[in-house]
Chain A
Amino acid sequence: MRLFEYEAKQLFKENDIPVTEGILCTSPAEVRNAVNDLDGRGVLKVQILSGGRGKAGGIKVVESPDEAEDVAEDLFEAKIKGYPVEKILVDPVLNIRREYYLGVTIDRAKYKIVVIGSQTGGVDIEEFAKKNPKKVFKESFEIDEDMYSFEAYGIGLQMKFRKDKLKKLASIILGLHRAFKRYDCKLAEINPLVETEEGDLIAADARMSVYSDALFRQPELMEMDVEKRHEEGEMTPREKEARENGIPYLDLDGNIGMFPGGAGFGIMGNDFINYYGGKPANFMDSGGGPSPEKLAKMLELLDENPNVKAIFGARFGGISHCDDFAKGVIKFLKDHGLSKPMVMRMTGNNWEEGVRLFDEAKKESPELFERIEAHGIETPIEDIARRAVEMAKEAE
């Protein structure tokens, strides 16, 4: 989960990293006052959870309070990279001599923490590293070891830092490494780290992403309410509705409603439908052990989506048992009713009980099942996918 720049800066500051002392604003009038307080000049930076703000027009330098208010009015009404702008951080204008890059992340292949430094900052570091591998330095660290000052000096020397700045830089590197570990980060990044004409080193931007799985031991992050944040991009209304019900869901642009079991087959099932000439309308994952209520909600999302012409259902009961799956489907049929044709396959743990529940419900109200073609382990899942593609074509 990504933090806003102003939040990351606050946490960096607590770890002895000098950051620009900006003012957070929520209205053009506040922006005007902020620029006034900063001696009439300022950098207006929209606070959104996405990179590339500058290129998208979300960072503006202003030379007067009047200009600040005008620019802020436009920014608050704009969408930057698809995000509405709710907050603007007004930073002082720095006299930049040079820009550097510092980042800390995890090397998943080596199971180590990696500190990355570059003589050139303010750039897309991945792109820059590809073109200039010799100008980007990486140093690996064990997860259970602290970083020593001499190791930070080593990185500074590789970055060809002037000796009189070496101690200042080392303290920033140590602080960034410490913050990274302290908050269970996925990424902690200063881009750019600015060397000013006055000789100071200061974080002009701050980026931090944290792992949601560790939030339970991060009271400071919990206070920032980061758990409610979406990773990147803006959600469609259906994605929002799904998320409110705890269902990982994405809208795609096809017409086959995907009602799979786990995430693994959610991803693979999407491929199968494409191989057979169809297009899924969504990606969905029930997570481990969904309740019948959640399963019913998943089907409701698909049935009410006008783009969906047919539904592909698959359940291989592992931690989520087939009887719970059957209960969810039956609940949906009784409470809501199915308006689209659906083909499904159910097998795995407790499949006998799942089949029994279906048979019982069907005996009671056969009309509810009219649109469902149900299969068990005898039918390969590929045949089910193919049938879903056929059904969608017939319905178009």
Chain B
Amino acid sequence: MAILVDKESRILVQGMTGSAGQFHTKRMIEYGTNIVAGTSPGKGGELVEGIPVYDTVEFAIDSEGVDTSVIFLPARFVKEAAIEAIWAGIKMVLVIPEHIPIFDMMHIRKEAKRYGATVIGGNTPGIISPGQANLGIMPEIAFKRGKIGTVSRSGSITYYIADTLTRTGYGETTCVGLGGDPVLGSTFDDVLMMFEEDDETEAVVMCGEIGGVYEEMARETISRMKKPVICMIGGVFAPQGKRMGHAGAIIEGSMGTAKSKLKVLEDAGAKPARTFMEIPRILESLGIDPVEQVS
């Protein structure tokens, strides 16, 4: 198994006819991802990479039986697109674009909760269940099917963690990019609980960064989990009060520093890793063996 997406997922690409939509549709299909439909208002009836395009999500569902959507649209259209998908009954919506207005993301989250849907993003590289489905923009070279789940705020960190797990023979069940924006569709605790319930996942690596409250919010979930959680937090040496890249990564007073986050997570039972290479060492010390021996 895997979480959120697997080879059975029937996937819709919202914004399929745009340049990013076309480019990534092709990549995702080449990976073996089960893309079944696209939407683009006014362009229903066209084909992209042989996949039928519909005017609305509802038509796409009626014709192709969609259960998952990935959005490749400019930020200002994301609110409409996500709510269209949620209202039409899609239970898993992935928001790739960055710079989505915060209020829009709050609206989307509210509708998702109301309809029992999961929204991941924005500003996320996507979700990959290696060997099954690659949803978004992640480079497949980093990933291999295995036994560790990962969840991270940053794209590049997701790649480095998977790269390390793949190189050391552990592989991954699913890697989830939560996104780098200050307000996100889903948080660490949402995803950690899914990994806890997934048969194939033996341990989870979570990586957060300075700023915000999402890491601290995972405290209770981690303390309830039976599976081990390894945690990393970027920004231990970040200068106070200066903005480093992600809109989410601003230190506000003592709240949201890397040290305070690490302390909270460690107290909840997570094992801290300072570098990526410490992750396989911690897994080994927990008695978790690689899937395959690597020379």
Interface residues of A (CB under 8 A from B): 106, 108-109, 111-112, 126, 142-144, 181, 184, 186, 211-214, 216-217, 231-233, 248, 250, 252, 260-268, 270-272, 274-275, 283, 285, 288, 316-319, 347-349, 351, 377, 380-382
Q: What's the minimum C-beta distance from B28 to chain A, rounded to whole angstroms?
A: 13
Closest to A378 in B: B167
Stretch at the interface among B10-18, B63-71, B86-94, B234-242: B234-242
Contact with A along B87-109 (1 / 0, CB 8 A): 00000000000111111101101
Closest to B27 in A: A349
B59 near A: Cβ within 8 Å? no
The listed residue (B141, B156, B242) touching A351 by CB distance below 8 A is B141
* Residues B106 and A250 in contact, CB atoms below 8 Å apart: no
Within 135-157 of B, Cβ neighbours of A (below 8 Å) are at 137-139, 141-142, 152-157
Interface residues on B, range: 35 or more
Q: What's the minimum C-beta distance from B154 to chain A, rounded to whole angstroms?
A: 2
Within the assembled complex, what's the spacing in Å between the Cα atoms of A261 and B125?
A: 13
Within 197-247 of B, Cβ neighbours of A (below 8 Å) are at 209-210, 212-214, 217, 232, 234-239, 241-247
* Residues B138 and A380 in contact, CB atoms below 8 Å apart: no
B182 near A: Cβ within 8 Å? yes
* Residues B110 and A261 in contact, CB atoms below 8 Å apart: no
Pairs A-B, 10 closest by C-beta atoms? A264-B154, A263-B245, A214-B101, A262-B156, A348-B139, A265-B156, A268-B234, A285-B245, A143-B106, A267-B234
Within the assembled complex, what's the spacing in Å between the Cα atoms of A111 and B112?
A: 12
Within the assembled complex, what's the spacing in Å between the Cα atoms of A181 and B101?
A: 12
* Residues A267 and B249 in contact, CB atoms below 8 Å apart: yes
Q: Secondary structure of the B side of the interface? A: loop
Q: What's the minimum C-beta distance from A126 to chain B, rounded to whole angstroms?
A: 6
Closest to B210 in A: A267
Instruction: Please name all residues of chain B whose beta carbon is closer than 8 Å to the beta carbon of A380 when the two chains form the complex.
Output: 164, 167, 276-277
The listed residue (B157, B236, B242, B247) touching A250 by CB distance below 8 A is B242
Within the assembled complex, what's the spacing in Å between the Cα atoms of A211 and B182?
A: 10
Within the assembled complex, what's the spacing in Å between the Cα atoms of A231 and B243?
A: 8
* Residues A106 and B183 in contact, CB atoms below 8 Å apart: yes
* Residues A262 and B141 in contact, CB atoms below 8 Å apart: no
The listed residue (B107, B154, B157, B213) touching A108 by CB distance below 8 A is B213
29 chain-A/chain-B pairs, Cβ below 8 angstroms? A108-B183, A109-B213, A109-B217, A112-B106, A143-B107, A184-B102, A213-B100, A214-B101, A250-B242, A262-B156, A264-B152, A264-B154, A264-B209, A264-B234, A264-B245, A264-B246, A265-B157, A267-B209, A267-B245, A268-B209, A268-B232, A270-B235, A270-B238, A271-B258, A316-B163, A347-B142, A377-B141, A381-B163, A382-B275
Instruction: Please name all residues of chain A whose beta carbon is closer than 8 Å to the beta carbon of B276 when the two chains form the complex.
Output: 380-382
The listed residue (B107, B160, B167, B183) touching A265 by CB distance below 8 A is B160
* Residues B237 and A213 in contact, CB atoms below 8 Å apart: no
* Residues A283 and B245 in contact, CB atoms below 8 Å apart: yes
Instruction: Please name all residues of chain A whose beta carbon is closer than 8 Å to the beta carbon of B157 when the two chains form the complex.
Output: 264-265, 268
Instruction: Please name all residues of chain A whose beta carbon is closer than 8 Å to the beta carbon of B180 when the two chains form the complex.
Output: 262-264
* Residues A211 and B102 in contact, CB atoms below 8 Å apart: yes
The verdict on A216 contacting B76 (CB below 8 Å), with A265-B160, A348-B141 known, is yes
Closest to A285 in B: B245
* Residues A264 and B156 in contact, CB atoms below 8 Å apart: yes
B48 near A: Cβ within 8 Å? no
Instruction: Please name all residues of chain B whose beta carbon is closer than 8 Å to the beta carbon of A266 when the two chains form the complex.
Output: 244-245
Instruction: Please name all residues of chain A whose beta carbon is closer than 8 Å to the beta carbon of B54 when the two chains form the complex.
Output: none
The listed residue (B142, B155, B253, B258) touching A262 by CB distance below 8 A is B155
Instruction: Please name all residues of chain B whose beta carbon is closer than 8 Å to the beta carbon of A252 when the two chains form the complex.
Output: 239
Instruction: Please name all residues of chain A whose beta carbon is closer than 8 Å to the beta carbon of B263 when the two chains form the complex.
Output: none
